[in-house]
Structure 1
Amino acid sequence: MKILDIGKRVLQEEKKALENLIEALDENFEKAVQLILDTKGKVIVTGMGKSGHIGNKIAATLASTGTPAFFLHPAEAIHGDLGMISREDIVLAISNSGETPELLAIIPTIKRWGNKIISITNNPKSSLAQESDIHLFLNVEKEACPLNLAPTSSSTATLALGDALAVALLEMRGFTAEDFAQFHPGGSLGKKLMKVKEIMHTGDKLPVISPDTPLKETVIIMSEKGFGAALVAEDNKLIGIITDGDLRRFIKAGGSIDKSYAKDAMTASPKTISEDRLVVEALELMERYNITVLPVVKNSSIAGLIHMHDILKSGVI
């Protein structure tokens, strides 16, 4: 058999497993989501072996999308880590067979404490399913492994079901990109969700001038502030911008720096951005119009200024 054929067969088997899972999804899924939404505690995810590895990922996904969660290893739980579970927590127990000894060993204590249990198994008649408050059925017919032994289709289905739970909870909570950014302050994800106000220059650092500022003085201010631009404003309302390029074009057209004013060389109604927009949006705007300086406004008033160098230093790109 060709290697490529094996790969395609495995993916087809796992695709079928996901299709079966979709068919099996019922009102228990809705009950599970609602139970988690209503709790004031955390979601404690637990499972052994491959189910444990998948459970670890599910816990991480839940935690990063607004649902407090962590993974508890059942073997460690038997030896004291059950103390990590508080009264208001919900336990999400994962076992393909539903008969994992280490998992079943901690269920009586959890039930005695009154914690609700949501289980994910491939056997609705299993011990774990029967002891749970809500059972989610995987409905996997066979593993992609030709021996039907190695967790493949079942682990894929479990992971997908965990994603479905996390996304349903995310949407029901109205979780936003801004919320996501709070949980991802580091790495590329957090940086892509960085807002303009986090990197913009403000206050005395800004090269703000009036339209009647002599152009010779404007050049000095532009040089001192170091942005290669000056913001032209009336009562702090932005009406124009002067960049190094504007000055060159003004002089080339016969203008005189000694006898002219800022209003004579400025570009009226320049491109701007709000301080609450994302830095990546500012970058897209600057690239589209081939500009390196972008005024930041709030209700038409000058709030700040960002330069392409600021975006490069932010690590967004």
Structure 2
Amino acid sequence: MDISNTVRRGSTLTKQDLLHGKVPGDFFFRELAERHHGPMAVALGGREYCKGEYSVQRRTYPFTTLEFVAEGAGELRLGDGPVQSLRAGCVFAYGPGMPVSMSTAGKAMTKYFLCLVGNKARRVLEEPVALMGRMQHFGGHAELREIFDLILQEGKEHGPRTEALCWNSFCRLLLKLEQAQLRGEQTRDPQLETFTRCKRLIDAGPERFGSLGELAAVAHVSLPTLHRLFRRYQGVTPYQYLTRRKMNEAAHALIDTDLMVKEVAARVGFDDPLHFSRVFRHVHGVSPQRLRESLRAPGGG
């Protein structure tokens, strides 16, 4: 893969890192050789934290690439087009033969990228989403970030279905982008934005909230509004969503650490280990102790 015509400063990802795999855990590499034939696939991707002095200029890039700005701001120029302002929610695509200039203009920025291979890689970003060589801003972009995070998580797995899972998630991402374009999301939906803000607060740390009242206070919404938003946009109550996120965090802790069950309970905000165990069993169908035993049993991993 030839990226010798790339100039990059201020990023956590360097040319040497990319070529030799010496990168943080925010990147995955399925194929490092560009491929313009055969079936389509997500070759590599990641989440990149760009510092205030970040700057990249490329005369070309071997992969068809989709990028998404999750946080921060910057500037972008695709091909011979005008310089455009980047902000959270901006999505753009480029490919071989297209010059790209990007900088953070003195401000930090978090962005995701996905590189595609295959004989129709460029076409899937030309129609129907029409993002090749252009940038578009999407409102309610927390959903997009969730899918990018999912692809990033799947891409780092090593299994017989990893490639298919990544591609299926990417197709879902394309459908979300197409749906947003059809809805004309340039017109803001304040209620959706409020919901995504509340949902992101939970996702960032469900253990911080001992009650829905605490969440509502931090989000600056009323409890009835919180219930209405989650029912409308998530299809569950905010309590159900918060509890599920807490139990997911608890399951990870039980699998990845040697903490006692009561310590895991306290970590996710439960003072009573028995109540925690009942809720855990209700959500996952198995008790915390049984989960631990199954993992330690022969053949349980």
Question: Shorter-chain-normalised TM-score: which range?
Answer: under 0.3
Larger radius of gyration: 1
* Larger relative helix fraction: 1
* Larger relative strand fraction: 2
TM-score of the two chains, using structure 1 as the length reference: 0.23
